[in-house]
A and B are shown apart, each in its own frame.
Chain A
Amino acid sequence: MIAAPETTAWYVYGVVDASAKIGADQLRLIGEGPLAAVVSEVPLSEFGEEELAQRLNDRAWLEEHARAHEDVLQRLAAVAAVVPFRFGAIYRELDDVSVLLRERRGELSAALERVRGRIELGVKAWADRDRFEAALGDALPEPSSGRAYLERRRTEHERAGRVGAQLGDIARDAHARLLRHAVEGVANRPHPRELTGRDEAMILNGAYLVADGDEALAGEAAALDAEHGARGIAFEVTGPWPPHNFVEPRDEV
C-alpha cells in the first residue's frame, strides 16, 4: 500500500534518524534524506477535521489518544533519538510528510542533535501551605477588640503575601540548583489546583534535559526534598521522558 485509502490519514508522532530501527508493526518510517518521520494510519472517522473537533470535546477520548501518542514516543525514545511532535499532527498524504521533512530539515536535524543521547526529567515541587506557615512559627495574636481584629486581618494579609514570596524564592532557588545538573532546563508555569486535583500548591513545574544515565539531577531533587520536607515542601521527579520540552526552536520557547 503506497497511499492511504481515502478513509484514512497519517498521524505523525515525531522524527528520528532515517537509519533508525524502530521495529514496531503499527508504525511506518517515512524517510527523506537523513531524517524519517514516524507515522501511523488513522481513520478519518476519528481524525478527520470535523470528527476530531468533536472528539476533542471528549475528555476520555483525548486522554486515551494523548496517552497513546506518549506511549509511541516512549517506545521510540527507548531505542533511538527522537524529536517529539505535539499531539494531533495529521496529513492526508504521505507525500506531504516527505515535504515536511524536506522543508524543515535544518530545524528538525538541529533538534535531533540537541536531544541525542539525552533524556528529559520532570521535577515538580508541591507546597503544603499550612505546614509551611506553621514551620515559620510566628503565631498570630488572638484579637481582643474590633481594632485588634482589623490589625489581625492586615497581618494575615501581609503574612500570606510573605509566604507566597518565600515559596517563590524556594522554587527559583531549586530551579537554579537543578539547572546546574542539566544540559538545559525550563521552569514551566505551575498548574492551578483545578487541574492538579491536589491539596498542595504546585510551586515548581520544571523540565530538564540531562545526559542519559546521568543521575545527578535526580540526586539534587532528592536533596531538595530532604532539605524542605520538614517545612511541607515535596519535590517529585518523573521520567525519563521523550524530550518534549527541548525540541521547539529556542526563540519560540
Chain B
Amino acid sequence: MSNFAQPPLEEQVTLLELVDRVLNKGVVLTGDIMLSVADVDLVYVGLRVLLASVGTLDRLQSEATA
C-alpha cells in the first residue's frame, strides 16, 4: 500500500465516506439474491434516517430507479 502523509485510514472512515463508498458504490447484485440494497427500497428508509437530507435522498431514489 502507498504511504501518504495522511491520517490512518480507520480515522478517515467517517460516516460521509461510508455513504460515498460502501452504501453508494460497488458492484450491485440483483436477481436471485435474497437481499440487495440495490433492488430493495428498504435501505432508503434507513438512509432517510442516516442522511436527513431530502435532496440526497431524492438523488439516491432516482439512481435506484434509473
**What residues of chain A have their CB less than 8 Å away from a CB belonging to chain B?**
9, 12, 14-15, 47, 49, 52-53, 55-59, 62-63, 66-67, 69-70, 73-74, 77-78, 83-92, 96, 99-100, 108, 111, 119, 122, 188-189, 191-192, 194-196, 205, 207, 212-215, 218, 237-242, 244-245, 247-248
Contact = CB atoms under 8 A, between A and B. Distances in A.
A55 B22 CA distance: 16
Contact of A78 (B1, B33, B34, B42): B1
15 contacts: A14-B26, A53-B45, A59-B46, A59-B49, A59-B50, A62-B47, A84-B26, A86-B24, A89-B33, A89-B37, A90-B35, A194-B51, A195-B52, A244-B20, A248-B25
Looking at A58, A88, A90, A248, the one whose CB has the most chain B CB atoms below 10 A away is A88
Looking at B22, B32, B36, B56, the one whose CB has the most chain A CB atoms below 10 A away is B22
Looking at B24, B35, B47, the one whose CB has the most chain A CB atoms below 10 A away is B35
Interface of B: 1-2, 4, 6, 9, 12-13, 15-29, 32-38, 40, 42-43, 45-47, 49-53, 55-56, 59
B26 A92 contact: no
A195 B56 CA distance: 8
Given A53-B45, A87-B37, A240 B17 contact: no
Contacts of B26: 14, 84-87, 244, 247-248
A62 B47 CA distance: 9
Contacts of B46: 55-59, 62
B36 A56 contact: no
Given A57-B49, A192-B55, A205-B20, A111 B27 contact: yes
A49 B35 contact: yes
Contact of A14 (B12, B20, B27, B56): B27
In order of increasing CB-CB distance, the 4 nearest A-B pairs are A56-B46, A86-B26, A88-B37, A244-B25
A63 B15 contact: yes
Looking at A70, A74, A77, A92, the one whose CB has the most chain B CB atoms below 10 A away is A70
A133 to B, nearest CB: 23
Given A57-B46, A70-B21, A192-B53, A240 B34 contact: no
